[in-house]
Amino acid sequence: MDTIEADLAIVGGGIIGASCAYQAAKRGLKVVLVDQAVPAAGTSGACDGYVAVSSKKPGLMMELAVASKQIYPEIVRELSLDPEYMPVGGLLVVEDPADLEALESHVTALRSVGVPMEYLDRQRMLAFEPNLSPTLHGAWRCPVEAIVNPYRMTLALVAGAVERGTRTLWRTRPKGFETNDGRIAAMLIPGGRIVAEQYVFCAGVWSQELGRLVGIELPVIPRRGELVVTERGAAPARHYLMSAKYLVAKADPEAASRSSDPRMRIGHGFCLEVNAQGQCIIGSTRAFVGYDRNVTPEGIAIILAEAIKRVPAVAHTKVLRVFAGLRPYVDDKKPIIGRSGRVANLLVAAGHEGDGICLSQITGAIIADLATGRRPTIDISPLTPDRFAPPGTAENRAKTAIA
Ligand SMILES: Cc1cc2nc3c(=O)[nH]c(=O)nc-3n(C[C@H](O)[C@H](O)[C@H](O)COP(=O)(O)OP(=O)(O)OC[C@H]3O[C@@H](n4cnc5c(N)ncnc54)[C@H](O)[C@@H]3O)c2cc1C
Protein backbone atom coordinates (compact mmCIF):
# COMPACT_ATOMS: atom_id res chain seq x y z
CA MET A 1 0.00 0.00 0.00
CA ASP A 2 1.37 3.44 -1.00
CA THR A 3 1.69 6.15 1.60
CA ILE A 4 1.67 9.78 0.50
CA GLU A 5 3.11 12.22 3.01
CA ALA A 6 2.12 15.88 3.14
CA ASP A 7 1.91 18.91 5.39
CA LEU A 8 -1.70 19.53 4.37
CA ALA A 9 -4.26 17.17 2.80
CA ILE A 10 -7.30 18.96 1.38
CA VAL A 11 -10.54 17.16 0.50
CA GLY A 12 -12.58 18.99 -2.16
CA GLY A 13 -11.41 20.60 -5.39
CA GLY A 14 -14.07 23.29 -5.72
CA ILE A 15 -13.13 26.95 -5.54
CA ILE A 16 -12.75 26.80 -1.74
CA GLY A 17 -10.41 23.78 -1.70
CA ALA A 18 -8.50 25.16 -4.69
CA SER A 19 -8.00 28.50 -2.95
CA CYS A 20 -6.85 26.79 0.27
CA ALA A 21 -4.39 24.68 -1.75
CA TYR A 22 -3.07 27.71 -3.63
CA GLN A 23 -2.55 29.82 -0.50
CA ALA A 24 -0.99 26.98 1.49
CA ALA A 25 1.36 26.05 -1.38
CA LYS A 26 2.35 29.70 -1.74
CA ARG A 27 3.45 29.63 1.90
CA GLY A 28 5.66 26.63 1.27
CA LEU A 29 3.45 23.81 2.58
CA LYS A 30 3.54 20.44 0.86
CA VAL A 31 -0.10 20.03 -0.19
CA VAL A 32 -2.17 17.11 -1.50
CA LEU A 33 -5.55 18.05 -3.03
CA VAL A 34 -8.08 15.24 -3.34
CA ASP A 35 -11.46 15.23 -5.09
CA GLN A 36 -13.95 12.44 -5.69
CA ALA A 37 -14.42 13.84 -9.20
CA VAL A 38 -12.46 16.58 -10.99
CA PRO A 39 -11.87 20.28 -10.15
CA ALA A 40 -15.04 22.40 -10.21
CA ALA A 41 -17.23 19.30 -10.60
CA GLY A 42 -19.50 20.55 -7.80
CA THR A 43 -21.14 23.91 -7.23
CA SER A 44 -18.12 25.95 -8.39
CA GLY A 45 -18.75 24.70 -11.92
CA ALA A 46 -22.50 25.41 -11.83
CA CYS A 47 -22.99 28.97 -10.64
CA ASP A 48 -22.40 32.55 -11.63
CA GLY A 49 -19.48 34.64 -10.51
CA TYR A 50 -20.26 37.88 -8.74
CA VAL A 51 -17.47 39.12 -6.57
CA ALA A 52 -20.12 41.17 -4.81
CA VAL A 53 -19.85 42.98 -1.52
CA SER A 54 -23.12 44.91 -1.71
CA SER A 55 -25.20 41.71 -1.38
CA LYS A 56 -23.58 40.66 1.90
CA LYS A 57 -25.16 40.83 5.33
CA PRO A 58 -23.63 43.65 7.42
CA GLY A 59 -21.12 42.42 9.99
CA LEU A 60 -18.71 39.55 9.57
CA MET A 61 -19.99 38.48 6.11
CA MET A 62 -19.52 41.98 4.75
CA GLU A 63 -16.08 42.25 6.38
CA LEU A 64 -15.01 38.95 4.79
CA ALA A 65 -16.36 40.02 1.38
CA VAL A 66 -14.51 43.34 1.49
CA ALA A 67 -11.26 41.57 2.42
CA SER A 68 -11.71 38.94 -0.30
CA LYS A 69 -12.57 41.52 -2.93
CA GLN A 70 -9.44 43.48 -1.99
CA ILE A 71 -7.08 40.55 -2.56
CA TYR A 72 -8.85 39.13 -5.66
CA PRO A 73 -7.07 41.28 -8.32
CA GLU A 74 -3.64 40.60 -6.85
CA ILE A 75 -4.25 36.82 -6.83
CA VAL A 76 -5.62 36.94 -10.39
CA ARG A 77 -2.39 38.68 -11.48
CA GLU A 78 -0.32 35.87 -9.92
CA LEU A 79 -2.15 33.11 -11.80
CA SER A 80 -0.95 31.83 -15.16
CA LEU A 81 -4.46 30.91 -16.39
CA ASP A 82 -6.80 33.86 -17.10
CA PRO A 83 -9.97 33.45 -14.99
CA GLU A 84 -11.80 36.24 -16.84
CA TYR A 85 -11.92 38.55 -13.83
CA MET A 86 -13.67 41.78 -14.87
CA PRO A 87 -14.05 44.75 -12.49
CA VAL A 88 -17.33 45.88 -14.04
CA GLY A 89 -19.00 47.25 -10.89
CA GLY A 90 -22.48 46.37 -9.71
CA LEU A 91 -25.92 47.96 -9.85
CA LEU A 92 -28.52 47.12 -7.23
CA VAL A 93 -31.71 48.01 -9.09
CA VAL A 94 -34.58 49.48 -7.12
CA GLU A 95 -38.04 48.53 -8.39
CA ASP A 96 -40.09 50.71 -6.06
CA PRO A 97 -39.51 53.34 -3.37
CA ALA A 98 -40.33 50.87 -0.59
CA ASP A 99 -37.21 48.88 -1.56
CA LEU A 100 -35.20 52.07 -1.32
CA GLU A 101 -36.25 52.55 2.28
CA ALA A 102 -35.42 48.93 3.12
CA LEU A 103 -31.94 49.40 1.66
CA GLU A 104 -31.07 52.51 3.67
CA SER A 105 -29.42 50.74 6.63
CA HIS A 106 -27.73 48.27 4.26
CA VAL A 107 -26.08 51.09 2.33
CA THR A 108 -25.01 52.78 5.59
CA ALA A 109 -23.37 49.52 6.69
CA LEU A 110 -21.54 49.20 3.36
CA ARG A 111 -20.25 52.76 3.57
CA SER A 112 -19.10 52.20 7.15
CA VAL A 113 -16.69 49.49 5.93
CA GLY A 114 -15.36 51.70 3.15
CA VAL A 115 -17.50 50.41 0.25
CA PRO A 116 -18.41 53.31 -2.06
CA MET A 117 -22.15 53.36 -2.85
CA GLU A 118 -23.67 55.97 -5.14
CA TYR A 119 -27.42 56.39 -5.69
CA LEU A 120 -28.48 56.90 -9.30
CA ASP A 121 -31.94 58.28 -9.94
CA ARG A 122 -33.79 56.94 -12.96
CA GLN A 123 -32.22 59.41 -15.38
CA ARG A 124 -28.64 58.79 -14.23
CA MET A 125 -29.26 55.05 -14.07
CA LEU A 126 -30.38 55.10 -17.71
CA ALA A 127 -27.33 57.14 -18.63
CA PHE A 128 -25.12 54.36 -17.19
CA GLU A 129 -27.28 51.49 -18.47
CA PRO A 130 -29.55 52.57 -21.35
CA ASN A 131 -31.05 49.07 -21.69
CA LEU A 132 -32.63 49.12 -18.24
CA SER A 133 -36.39 49.58 -18.12
CA PRO A 134 -37.51 53.18 -17.49
CA THR A 135 -40.12 51.73 -15.11
CA LEU A 136 -37.35 51.09 -12.55
CA HIS A 137 -37.09 53.65 -9.78
CA GLY A 138 -33.29 53.95 -9.74
CA ALA A 139 -30.23 52.00 -8.66
CA TRP A 140 -27.45 51.85 -6.12
CA ARG A 141 -24.09 51.64 -7.88
CA CYS A 142 -21.09 49.94 -6.31
CA PRO A 143 -18.16 50.64 -8.64
CA VAL A 144 -15.62 48.39 -6.88
CA GLU A 145 -17.35 45.07 -7.56
CA ALA A 146 -16.36 42.50 -10.17
CA ILE A 147 -17.33 39.30 -11.92
CA VAL A 148 -15.17 36.26 -12.58
CA ASN A 149 -15.64 32.99 -14.45
CA PRO A 150 -15.96 30.67 -11.43
CA TYR A 151 -15.07 27.52 -13.36
CA ARG A 152 -11.90 29.07 -14.80
CA MET A 153 -11.03 30.65 -11.44
CA THR A 154 -11.14 27.21 -9.80
CA LEU A 155 -8.96 25.69 -12.54
CA ALA A 156 -6.55 28.65 -12.36
CA LEU A 157 -6.15 28.26 -8.59
CA VAL A 158 -5.56 24.51 -8.96
CA ALA A 159 -2.97 25.19 -11.69
CA GLY A 160 -1.32 27.82 -9.47
CA ALA A 161 -1.19 25.35 -6.58
CA VAL A 162 0.29 22.63 -8.82
CA GLU A 163 2.94 25.06 -10.13
CA ARG A 164 3.88 25.59 -6.46
CA GLY A 165 4.29 21.88 -5.76
CA THR A 166 0.77 20.66 -4.91
CA ARG A 167 -0.02 17.05 -5.79
CA THR A 168 -3.56 16.42 -7.05
CA LEU A 169 -5.53 13.18 -6.82
CA TRP A 170 -8.72 13.31 -8.92
CA ARG A 171 -11.48 10.70 -8.86
CA THR A 172 -10.26 9.81 -5.39
CA ARG A 173 -12.69 9.52 -2.52
CA PRO A 174 -11.51 8.97 1.06
CA LYS A 175 -12.74 5.58 2.32
CA GLY A 176 -12.22 6.54 5.94
CA PHE A 177 -9.82 8.06 8.44
CA GLU A 178 -7.58 6.55 11.07
CA THR A 179 -7.78 8.63 14.23
CA ASN A 180 -5.56 8.57 17.25
CA ASP A 181 -5.68 10.65 20.40
CA GLY A 182 -8.17 13.19 18.99
CA ARG A 183 -6.23 13.65 15.74
CA ILE A 184 -6.46 12.26 12.22
CA ALA A 185 -3.52 9.89 11.77
CA ALA A 186 -4.20 9.00 8.13
CA MET A 187 -6.74 9.38 5.34
CA LEU A 188 -7.49 6.07 3.67
CA ILE A 189 -7.89 6.21 -0.09
CA PRO A 190 -8.25 3.40 -2.65
CA GLY A 191 -4.88 1.66 -2.89
CA GLY A 192 -3.16 3.73 -0.24
CA ARG A 193 -3.22 6.29 2.51
CA ILE A 194 -2.33 9.93 2.98
CA VAL A 195 -0.48 10.86 6.14
CA ALA A 196 -0.56 14.61 6.69
CA GLU A 197 0.24 16.94 9.55
CA GLN A 198 -3.11 18.66 9.01
CA TYR A 199 -6.29 18.09 6.96
CA VAL A 200 -8.83 20.50 5.47
CA PHE A 201 -12.43 19.54 4.59
CA CYS A 202 -13.81 21.65 1.71
CA ALA A 203 -16.57 19.36 0.48
CA GLY A 204 -19.33 21.91 -0.19
CA VAL A 205 -22.82 20.35 -0.06
CA TRP A 206 -21.27 16.93 0.69
CA SER A 207 -19.66 18.11 3.94
CA GLN A 208 -22.04 16.38 6.32
CA GLU A 209 -21.14 12.89 5.08
CA LEU A 210 -17.42 13.68 5.18
CA GLY A 211 -17.57 15.21 8.67
CA ARG A 212 -19.31 12.15 10.05
CA LEU A 213 -16.35 9.99 8.98
CA VAL A 214 -14.38 11.69 11.78
CA GLY A 215 -17.32 12.16 14.16
CA ILE A 216 -18.07 15.84 13.63
CA GLU A 217 -21.26 17.48 12.44
CA LEU A 218 -21.05 19.80 9.42
CA PRO A 219 -24.73 20.51 8.67
CA VAL A 220 -24.41 21.89 5.15
CA ILE A 221 -27.50 21.34 3.02
CA PRO A 222 -28.04 21.93 -0.73
CA ARG A 223 -30.08 24.95 -1.83
CA ARG A 224 -30.74 24.76 -5.55
CA GLY A 225 -30.32 27.77 -7.83
CA GLU A 226 -31.35 27.83 -11.50
CA LEU A 227 -29.66 29.93 -14.19
CA VAL A 228 -30.25 30.81 -17.86
CA VAL A 229 -27.39 31.39 -20.32
CA THR A 230 -28.02 33.28 -23.57
CA GLU A 231 -26.13 33.10 -26.85
CA ARG A 232 -23.43 35.70 -27.52
CA GLY A 233 -24.85 38.97 -28.71
CA ALA A 234 -25.06 42.67 -28.04
CA ALA A 235 -24.38 42.96 -24.29
CA PRO A 236 -27.48 44.52 -22.67
CA ALA A 237 -25.55 45.71 -19.57
CA ARG A 238 -22.06 46.85 -18.60
CA HIS A 239 -22.41 46.39 -14.82
CA TYR A 240 -23.59 43.21 -13.22
CA LEU A 241 -27.19 43.78 -12.17
CA MET A 242 -29.01 42.61 -9.09
CA SER A 243 -32.47 43.38 -7.77
CA ALA A 244 -32.87 44.81 -4.29
CA LYS A 245 -35.42 42.02 -3.80
CA TYR A 246 -32.61 39.49 -4.34
CA LEU A 247 -31.31 40.33 -0.88
CA VAL A 248 -34.70 39.39 0.60
CA ALA A 249 -34.83 36.02 -1.21
CA LYS A 250 -31.32 35.26 0.02
CA ALA A 251 -31.76 36.30 3.62
CA ASP A 252 -35.22 35.06 4.53
CA PRO A 253 -36.09 31.60 3.16
CA GLU A 254 -38.94 31.18 5.67
CA ALA A 255 -40.74 34.36 4.53
CA ALA A 256 -40.14 33.39 0.92
CA SER A 257 -41.62 29.90 1.34
CA ARG A 258 -44.74 31.27 3.15
CA SER A 259 -45.50 33.81 0.43
CA SER A 260 -48.43 33.38 -1.95
CA ASP A 261 -46.37 35.03 -4.71
CA PRO A 262 -44.87 32.20 -6.84
CA ARG A 263 -41.76 34.31 -7.46
CA MET A 264 -41.11 34.55 -3.71
CA ARG A 265 -41.98 30.88 -3.15
CA ILE A 266 -39.25 29.71 -5.52
CA GLY A 267 -36.86 32.22 -3.94
CA HIS A 268 -36.52 34.25 -7.11
CA GLY A 269 -34.12 37.18 -7.11
CA PHE A 270 -33.20 38.85 -10.37
CA CYS A 271 -29.52 39.03 -11.31
CA LEU A 272 -27.75 39.34 -14.65
CA GLU A 273 -24.15 39.44 -15.73
CA VAL A 274 -22.54 39.60 -19.17
CA ASN A 275 -19.55 37.27 -19.21
CA ALA A 276 -16.28 37.60 -21.14
CA GLN A 277 -17.86 35.78 -24.12
CA GLY A 278 -20.72 38.30 -24.32
CA GLN A 279 -23.30 35.83 -23.01
CA CYS A 280 -25.84 36.87 -20.38
CA ILE A 281 -26.06 34.67 -17.32
CA ILE A 282 -29.43 35.34 -15.73
CA GLY A 283 -30.68 34.14 -12.38
CA SER A 284 -31.87 32.94 -10.10
CA THR A 285 -33.95 30.84 -7.73
CA ARG A 286 -33.39 29.39 -4.26
CA ALA A 287 -35.06 26.12 -3.24
CA PHE A 288 -34.45 23.27 -0.80
CA VAL A 289 -34.99 20.17 -2.96
CA GLY A 290 -32.19 17.91 -1.75
CA TYR A 291 -29.53 17.06 -4.32
CA ASP A 292 -31.93 17.53 -7.28
CA ARG A 293 -30.08 19.56 -9.93
CA ASN A 294 -32.89 19.57 -12.47
CA VAL A 295 -34.16 22.87 -13.79
CA THR A 296 -37.90 23.56 -13.65
CA PRO A 297 -40.13 25.15 -16.31
CA GLU A 298 -41.60 27.41 -13.61
CA GLY A 299 -38.18 28.57 -12.44
CA ILE A 300 -36.90 29.31 -15.95
CA ALA A 301 -40.16 31.05 -16.96
CA ILE A 302 -40.00 33.32 -13.91
CA ILE A 303 -36.28 34.06 -14.36
CA LEU A 304 -36.82 35.14 -17.97
CA ALA A 305 -40.06 37.08 -17.40
CA GLU A 306 -38.53 39.01 -14.49
CA ALA A 307 -35.34 39.72 -16.47
CA ILE A 308 -37.32 41.06 -19.44
CA LYS A 309 -39.27 43.37 -17.10
CA ARG A 310 -36.04 44.98 -15.95
CA VAL A 311 -33.94 44.63 -19.11
CA PRO A 312 -36.38 44.50 -22.06
CA ALA A 313 -33.54 43.73 -24.52
CA VAL A 314 -33.31 40.24 -22.99
CA ALA A 315 -36.47 39.40 -24.99
CA HIS A 316 -34.38 39.65 -28.18
CA THR A 317 -31.60 37.29 -27.03
CA LYS A 318 -31.54 33.54 -27.67
CA VAL A 319 -31.42 31.09 -24.79
CA LEU A 320 -28.43 28.78 -25.18
CA ARG A 321 -28.84 26.58 -22.13
CA VAL A 322 -30.25 26.36 -18.62
CA PHE A 323 -28.70 24.69 -15.61
CA ALA A 324 -28.85 24.47 -11.82
CA GLY A 325 -26.28 24.30 -9.05
CA LEU A 326 -26.48 23.56 -5.34
CA ARG A 327 -25.54 26.31 -2.91
CA PRO A 328 -23.93 24.93 0.27
CA TYR A 329 -26.35 26.35 2.86
CA VAL A 330 -25.98 26.39 6.65
CA ASP A 331 -29.04 27.13 8.74
CA ASP A 332 -27.41 29.93 10.74
CA LYS A 333 -26.44 31.55 7.41
CA LYS A 334 -22.74 31.58 8.14
CA PRO A 335 -20.02 29.52 6.46
CA ILE A 336 -18.01 27.07 8.54
CA ILE A 337 -14.39 28.20 8.62
CA GLY A 338 -11.84 27.31 11.26
CA ARG A 339 -10.07 24.65 13.26
CA SER A 340 -12.07 21.85 14.82
CA GLY A 341 -11.79 21.69 18.58
CA ARG A 342 -12.81 18.02 18.45
CA VAL A 343 -10.27 16.78 15.89
CA ALA A 344 -7.16 18.79 16.61
CA ASN A 345 -5.44 18.66 13.21
CA LEU A 346 -8.60 19.26 11.16
CA LEU A 347 -9.56 22.56 9.52
CA VAL A 348 -12.90 23.14 7.80
CA ALA A 349 -13.91 25.56 5.03
CA ALA A 350 -17.44 24.91 3.76
CA GLY A 351 -21.01 26.19 3.70
CA HIS A 352 -20.52 29.44 1.75
CA GLU A 353 -24.06 29.35 0.25
CA GLY A 354 -24.30 31.96 -2.52
CA ASP A 355 -21.05 33.68 -1.59
CA GLY A 356 -18.30 31.13 -2.15
CA ILE A 357 -16.90 32.61 -5.34
CA CYS A 358 -16.54 35.99 -3.69
CA LEU A 359 -15.29 34.66 -0.33
CA SER A 360 -12.94 32.04 -1.79
CA GLN A 361 -9.82 34.19 -1.66
CA ILE A 362 -10.14 35.29 1.96
CA THR A 363 -11.15 31.75 2.97
CA GLY A 364 -7.98 30.30 1.41
CA ALA A 365 -5.87 32.96 3.14
CA ILE A 366 -7.49 32.25 6.53
CA ILE A 367 -7.00 28.48 6.21
CA ALA A 368 -3.36 29.00 5.17
CA ASP A 369 -2.90 31.29 8.20
CA LEU A 370 -4.34 28.65 10.54
CA ALA A 371 -2.31 25.87 8.92
CA THR A 372 0.92 27.82 9.42
CA GLY A 373 0.15 28.85 13.00
CA ARG A 374 -0.72 32.48 12.25
CA ARG A 375 -3.73 34.31 13.63
CA PRO A 376 -6.09 35.32 10.80
CA THR A 377 -6.52 39.09 10.34
CA ILE A 378 -10.30 38.74 10.80
CA ASP A 379 -11.91 37.27 13.93
CA ILE A 380 -13.55 34.10 12.59
CA SER A 381 -14.62 32.65 15.95
CA PRO A 382 -18.38 32.89 15.02
CA LEU A 383 -17.65 30.57 12.08
CA THR A 384 -16.16 27.77 14.18
CA PRO A 385 -17.00 24.16 13.21
CA ASP A 386 -17.55 23.51 16.93
CA ARG A 387 -20.83 25.44 16.96
CA PHE A 388 -22.73 22.24 16.02
CA ALA A 389 -23.35 19.36 18.40
CA PRO A 390 -21.52 16.16 17.36
CA PRO A 391 -23.54 13.49 15.48
CA GLY A 392 -25.40 11.04 17.71
CA THR A 393 -25.52 13.34 20.77
CA ALA A 394 -28.87 14.13 22.41
CA GLU A 395 -28.67 17.77 21.28
CA ASN A 396 -27.97 16.77 17.69
CA ARG A 397 -30.77 14.17 17.68
CA ALA A 398 -33.28 16.76 18.98
CA LYS A 399 -32.28 19.23 16.25
CA THR A 400 -32.48 16.59 13.52
CA ALA A 401 -35.95 15.55 14.76
CA ILE A 402 -37.19 19.17 14.62
CA ALA A 403 -35.74 19.65 11.14
C1 LIG B 1 -26.98 29.31 -9.05
C2 LIG B 1 -25.82 29.72 -8.18
C3 LIG B 1 -25.28 30.99 -8.31
C4 LIG B 1 -24.21 31.39 -7.51
N5 LIG B 1 -23.67 32.62 -7.68
C6 LIG B 1 -22.63 33.02 -6.93
C7 LIG B 1 -22.06 34.31 -7.11
O8 LIG B 1 -22.44 35.05 -8.01
N9 LIG B 1 -21.04 34.69 -6.30
C10 LIG B 1 -20.59 33.88 -5.29
O11 LIG B 1 -19.71 34.31 -4.54
N12 LIG B 1 -21.09 32.64 -5.11
C13 LIG B 1 -22.10 32.20 -5.90
N14 LIG B 1 -22.64 30.97 -5.71
C15 LIG B 1 -22.13 30.14 -4.61
C16 LIG B 1 -20.86 29.41 -4.97
O17 LIG B 1 -21.00 28.79 -6.23
C18 LIG B 1 -20.53 28.37 -3.89
O19 LIG B 1 -20.55 28.98 -2.62
C20 LIG B 1 -19.14 27.77 -4.12
O21 LIG B 1 -19.02 27.31 -5.44
C22 LIG B 1 -18.88 26.63 -3.15
O23 LIG B 1 -17.60 26.13 -3.40
P24 LIG B 1 -17.06 24.85 -2.63
O25 LIG B 1 -15.66 24.66 -3.06
O26 LIG B 1 -17.35 24.99 -1.18
O27 LIG B 1 -18.00 23.66 -3.12
P28 LIG B 1 -17.92 22.81 -4.47
O29 LIG B 1 -17.58 23.64 -5.62
O30 LIG B 1 -19.18 22.02 -4.54
O31 LIG B 1 -16.69 21.85 -4.22
C32 LIG B 1 -16.77 20.75 -3.33
C33 LIG B 1 -15.90 19.65 -3.94
O34 LIG B 1 -15.75 18.62 -2.97
C35 LIG B 1 -15.75 17.37 -3.65
N36 LIG B 1 -16.12 16.36 -2.65
C37 LIG B 1 -17.24 16.33 -1.91
N38 LIG B 1 -17.24 15.29 -1.08
C39 LIG B 1 -16.06 14.64 -1.29
C40 LIG B 1 -15.48 13.47 -0.74
N41 LIG B 1 -16.07 12.75 0.23
N42 LIG B 1 -14.27 13.09 -1.21
C43 LIG B 1 -13.64 13.80 -2.19
N44 LIG B 1 -14.16 14.90 -2.75
C45 LIG B 1 -15.36 15.32 -2.29
C46 LIG B 1 -16.77 17.55 -4.75
O47 LIG B 1 -16.57 16.66 -5.83
C48 LIG B 1 -16.54 19.01 -5.17
O49 LIG B 1 -15.65 19.12 -6.26
C50 LIG B 1 -23.69 30.51 -6.53
C51 LIG B 1 -24.20 29.22 -6.43
C52 LIG B 1 -25.25 28.82 -7.25
C53 LIG B 1 -25.78 27.42 -7.14
The answer as to whether 6 is a domain residue is yes
| Residue 345 and residue 325 share a domain | no
- 244 pLDDT band, cuts 50/70/90, is confident
Edge-to-edge, what's the strand order for the sheet holding 319-330?
118-121, 138-142, 90-94, 240-243, 271-274, 280-283, 220-230, 319-330
Give the contacts of 46 (CB within 8 A, at least 6 positions apart): 293, 323, 324, 325, 326
**Top-confidence residue, 48 or 394:** 48
Q: Which domain holds residue 270?
A: 90-143+221-329
Of the residues 268, 302, 329, the one at which a domain ends: 329
Rg (C-alpha) for the chain, rounded Å, is: 21
Does pLDDT of 380 surpass 70? yes
Pocket test for ligand 1, best of 22, 44, 92 (most atoms within 8 A of CB): 44
Please check whether residue 353 is in contact with residue 43, taking contact to mean a CB–CB distance below 8 angstroms.
Answer: no
In the predicted model, what is the mean pLDDT of residues 163-185? 97
Ligand 1: does its nearest atom lie under 6 Å from the Cβ of 211? Answer: no
**Top-confidence residue, 268 or 361:** 361
| b/e code 132-141 from CB counts within 10 Å (16+ = b) | beeebbbbbb
Residue 110: count other Cβ atoms within 10 Å of its Cβ.
23
Total number of domains in the chain: 2
- 82 pLDDT band, cuts 50/70/90, is very high
Closest residue by CA, ligand 1 atom 12: 355
| Residue 237 and residue 114 share a domain | yes
For residue 97, the one-letter residue type is P
In the predicted model, what is the mean pLDDT of residues 204-208? 98
In the predicted model, what is the mean pLDDT of residues 278-304? 97
Closest residue by CA, ligand 1 atom 31: 14
Give 13-45 pLDDT, tens digit per residue. 999 999 999 999 999 999 999 999 999 999 999
The answer as to whether 55 is a domain residue is no
| Residue 103 and residue 199 share a domain | no
| Residue 290 and residue 175 share a domain | no
The CATH number that applies at residue 265 is 3.30.9.10
Rounded to whole angstroms, how far apart are CA atoms 170 and 246?
36
Reported as type and span, the H/E element at residue 9 is strand 2-11
Q: What is the pLDDT of residue 246?
A: 75
The CATH number that applies at residue 180 is 3.50.50.60
